[in-house]
Amino acid sequence: MTGNEFTVVQPWRSDRRGPARWIATHVARNWPLIALIVAGAIGNAALAAALPIFTGVAFDALSGGNPDLKQLAVACLLLLVSQSARSGLQLTRNFGSEVLGQRLERDTRRELYGELLGKSMGFHDMNPTGDVMARSTNDVRELALMLAPGLNLVIGSAIFLAMPILVAPRYHPTLVIVPVLFAIGYLLAMWHYLHTLQPVTAAVRQSFGAMNARLTEAIEGIETVKGGAQEEHEVAQFKQNAARVRDALVVQARVEARYLPLLLLALATGTAYGQAIYLYQQGTITVGAVAAYIGLISLFDFPVFTSLFAYSQVASGLSSARRILELVRARTHVDQNPAGYPGPLRGTITFEEVTFNYSGDPATHTPNALEAVSFHLEAGKTLALVGQTGSGKSTVAKLINRIYDVERGRILIDGVDVRDWKLEALRRQISIIEQDIFLFSRTIAENIAFGKPEASQAEIEAAARAAQAHDFIVSFPEGYGTLVGERGMTLSGGQRQRIALARAFLTNPAILILDDSTSAIDSATEDQIQRAIEQASQGRTTLLITHRLSQIRWADRIVVLRKGRVVAQGTHTELLAQSNAYREIFARL
């Protein structure tokens, strides 16, 4: 396996050896925010511990027969000042954690988007779009929630856990026993809780991705669903997938319901009360110390109750990070080869015993799409590929510009193996117009100029005229500024194909591949389109994958494919005289 087809150079290097390392890489770059969060958490916990301390002082000031009003006033003033400062620290900590979470989400989206664009078609063919979208949106959002409020509360609760241990001995050395035992029990319980919760949250994320994948398929194929009157079936399937998500969430809720620290808190609180009262009865500590100690024990409420939510959020975030990393770390067979041959491209094409299988795995025992295919086409000439459906014609087109790589054999462009070309240089000089035309939800002008964003309006209109598209474009109220619907569904098939032709003409490629690109064009404009293609083919290598006899006839060379093999090749006249397979195809045209 090799690198990506395309690489976005990021201003950082992330450690992708594991989800925790990967998150830590992104978080560590924002160390000022981390320092702000930790400082705020320490200050908040310390001032939270000050509350029971000053409360104990107030109790002692009022106890006995002669209340000390001055001591009481000082205690009240210190309470007011400390808790006001505490509120400011809480605001600072929460603000810092929220900014850190949003930065992590932003950087993750940036890194993931670049990686997805760089993956080969083999990767995208094997990964459902809905699941990829779920990971790119919902899972990325879970990372932000993992930091704010998740990790923010975890850090705060950890420091709260330490405060009773640090402060309790000031009243009596033995009062540290309960906080220490509770802390040990709490840490062990949380370790077991997280160990149990992690696979459960992973199942939740996986089931959500599967549900989203099926939903996306149904929406993308809505015309097929409605055409087959399968709405009820799709609704039933969605209910089944939604039930799996619900069941996974119920399992998570059951794990969370067995949250042991709640029981430990109750035991610790009861034991602390008993110990404090016993020491008071023995005259060892004052009533203020009892009040302060009980207040310190109550600080355990924060880590116990917040951890029930916070650690679940952290576990969910780690599961999401693991799913995102599966996409990021996935390697592809096609790499960009930045040090490869950069061109310029003249257009000589040679296939040498090319064999290809879409599965990429011989163990699947699926038939090869191409088997030992060989042919040669000189630069500037036109080659027509003909054959029955499934004979491998479109596969030839996808191998020329390395949408896929061959398994055996070689494809040479100008005598250089396509795998030795710099991928960007190779693809920029090849235009493919396929049967299934894809247009973006942008203006017509933007769709035509997609391969050349810097093109002027005059260049765009010239390309449209060459593709016989200008007249119907200007008939729209907004002209070239008309916004087409998703995938260009507001246009007819012929209009979409003419815009695709204009897009190809604008980039002025050295190799032009037309994969049945005029199949949806009506007979009234076919002659005009044919002349446009003939004109565009002058001086450039052209591959025609077509069933149109008018296009096959004027090709310089014709290759006949059957079940992925070349069964004949030559000129139209030669094949009529020598090839039964070609005559059979010709007879049906």
pLDDT, tens only, 393-433:
889 988 998 888 898 999 999 999 999 999 888 988 998 88
Whether 1 has a pLDDT exceeding 50, the answer reads: no
**3 state SS of 547:** coil
* Distance between CA atoms of residues 368 and 502, nearest Å: 34
What is the reported pTM? 0.76
Question: Confidence class of residue 214 from pLDDT cuts 50, 70 and 90?
Answer: confident
Give residue 324's pLDDT: 92
Three-state SS at 356: strand
Residue 245 in tokens: 């998500």
Query: Residue with structure tokens 């089931």?
Result: 207
Identify the sign of the CA torsion 469, 474, 477, 480: positive
Query: Cβ(356)–Cβ(404) under 8 Å?
Result: yes
Torsions phi, psi for 94 (to 5 deg)? -65, -40
pLDDT tens, position by position, 343-389: 789 999 999 999 998 876 655 567 889 999 999 999 999 999 998 88
Q: Which CATH architecture does the domain made up of 349-588 adopt?
A: 3-Layer(aba) Sandwich (3.40)
What is the C-alpha separation between 231 and 236, in angstroms, rounded? 9
Place of tokens 């005229």: 465
The two tokens of residue 462 are 């010239």
Given a cut of 50, whether residue 2 has pLDDT beyond it is no
Place of tokens 């050896």: 17
Task: Classify 16 as helix, strand or coil.
Answer: coil
Higher pLDDT, 521 or 465: 465
Residue whose entry in the numeric block shows the structure tokens 């370790």 = 191
**What tens digit of pLDDT does each residue of 513-561 get?**
888 766 555 666 566 666 667 766 777 899 988 777 777 877 889 999 9
Domain boundaries, the chain: 19-329, 349-588
Contact 411, 400 (CB under 8 A): yes
Note if the bond before 149 is cis, omega within 30 degrees: yes
Residues 578, 575: Cα–Cα separation, whole Å: 5
Q: What is the spatial distance between Cα 249 and Cα 540, in angstroms, rounded to a whole number?
A: 59
Chain centroid, CA 398 distance in Å:
25
Mean pLDDT calculated for residue range 165-194 = 93
Helices (H), 345-418: 393-400
| CATH fold for domain 19-329 | ABC transporter transmembrane region fold (1.20.1560)
- Preceding omega of 164 cis (within 30 degrees of 0): no
Average pLDDT, stretch 222-240?
A: 83
CB 89 within 8 A of CB 44: yes
